[in-house]
Amino acid sequence: MVLDEGKHTVACVRATQKFTLKGHRLRRNGDFRYVFGRGSSVANRYYVLYVVKKHRTQTLRVGFSVSKKVGNAVVRNRVKRVLREVMRLQIVHIEYGFDLVIIARKQAVELSYAQANKELCKLLTKAKLFRVTTTSKDSIV
């Protein structure tokens, strides 16, 4: 999936390399509270994304939150697995130096993997987190 923003093209594609989120996870309650308190948010029908710029570090950390309102443990874990997989594949395209928290809304349960990927990519684009590559018409032969 490629999103066009004028002169910039944002690639939201499946990464071919093996990549894990293990070192890129927010885990501590204090980290989540910091992002909620200091960060800005963008949202759509399925997800809320909180973003805070980290000036001292050039790492990207991601946290996931799925409320009990979404469903029972099986449903919540499925939603988190889908979110983790989408972020695992998209993290190579995202700017570093941010902490992100993704909150799943109740409607996220009805999404397939492809739909979740599309909706989360739209949200990341809206937050201007993708590394943009400039395309010039001169290079097209």
SS (H, E, C) 83-128: HHHHHHHHHHHECCCEEEEEEECHHHHHCCHHHHHHHHHHHHHHCC
What CATH number does residue 77 fall under?
3.30.230.10
State how many domains the chain has: 1
Domain that holds residue 28: 2-139
| SS3 label, residue 11 | strand
**Tens digits of pLDDT across the chain (141 residues):** 555 544 444 455 454 455 566 778 899 999 999 999 999 999 999 999 999 998 888 889 999 999 999 999 999 999 999 999 999 999 889 999 999 999 999 999 999 999 999 999 999 999 999 887 655 454 444
Tokens of 23: 């070192």
Euclidean distance between the first and the last CA atom of the chain, given in angstroms as a whole number? 23
What pTM value is reported for the model?
0.80
pLDDT value at residue 8: 45
Q: What pLDDT sits at residue 136? A: 46
Q: Is 97 left (phi over 0), alpha (psi -120 to 50) or beta?
A: left
At residue 3, the pLDDT reads 52
